[in-house]
Amino acid sequence: MSLLAEVWEAVRAIGQGMAAVNRRVGESAVTEFYPYQKPEIPPVSVQFLALIQNEDGSDRCVSCLACERACPSQVITIERKRNPAGKGFVLERFDLDFVNCMHCANCVEVCPVSAIVTVGDFEHAVYDVNMLKADKAFLDEIGRRAQVWYSPKFGVEIRKPDGSIEKAPPEMQPGGLAELLAGEEGA
């Protein structure tokens, strides 16, 4: 290809790019001003995992080990002991390695009591990879800070300002108003 042909091809490509930009001049921007404006993330999305405690501060986790067994990455480590006050177990250690976690939410799916849930808290960037190895205290803190979370057993739940936990309204549940309206039409 000659030099003149290469120059012509470059000018034509630049012209095509400028034409594409000029077609969008009058349109509104879709840019979000993060971190000043936080994006709206659906509660069902798997952004981060947390342990939820009951309203009285006791652990929801019954130490059944279902999440540890279901994890394909083997990043959950649970230690438990027999409950001295009765039947069942007491959770002693719950570690989750977010470095190797695939965020597949298998642990959330298999939890029979919705102790481990997904939260929309995605701002956990750190400089030290060792800080992404979460222990029970860290996961409990994420759960206490969460205002909205999701688990398949209970759906989307909300923590009220007084600390009580309740199921979110139908429009916040997976499927939202579509399922609500479909239910009304069938009634």
Identify whether 60 is part of a domain.
Answer: yes
Domain that holds residue 134: 48-174
Residues 81-126 have pLDDT tens digits of: 998 888 889 899 999 999 999 989 999 999 999 999 998 877 877 8
What local confidence, expressed as pLDDT, does residue 179 receive? 55
Q: Give the pLDDT of residue 176.
A: 60
pLDDT tens digit sequence for 42-58 = 777 778 899 999 888 88
pLDDT band for 35, please (50, 70, 90 cuts). Answer: confident
Residue 42 forms part of a structural domain: no
**Model pLDDT for residues 79-90, shown as the tens digit of each residue:** 999 988 888 898
Per the CB < 8 A criterion, the answer to whether 167 and 156 are in contact is yes
User: What pTM did the predictor assign?
Assistant: 0.72
Mean pLDDT, the chain, whole residue set = 86
In a domain, 33, yes or no: no
Length of the chain: 187
CATH number at residue 114: 3.30.70.3270
The answer to whether residue 27 is domain-embedded is: no
What's the structural domain count of the chain?
Answer: 1
Q: What is the pLDDT of residue 38?
A: 80
Per-residue confidence (pLDDT) for residue 68, from 0 to 100: 95
138-149: per-residue pLDDT in tens?
Answer: 999 999 988 889
Q: Is residue 28 part of a domain?
A: no
Residue 40 pLDDT: 78
- Does the residue 6 lie in any domain? no
Is residue 148 in a domain?
yes
Q: Which residue has the higher pLDDT, 35 or 67?
A: 67
Query: Is there a domain that residue 9 lies in?
Result: no
Rounded to whole angstroms, how far apart are CA atoms 32 and 164?
33
Say if residue 35 is preceded by a cis peptide, omega within 30 of 0.
Answer: yes
What is the C-alpha to C-alpha distance for residues 72 and 82, in angstroms, rounded to an integer?
Answer: 27
pLDDT of the residue at 168: 87
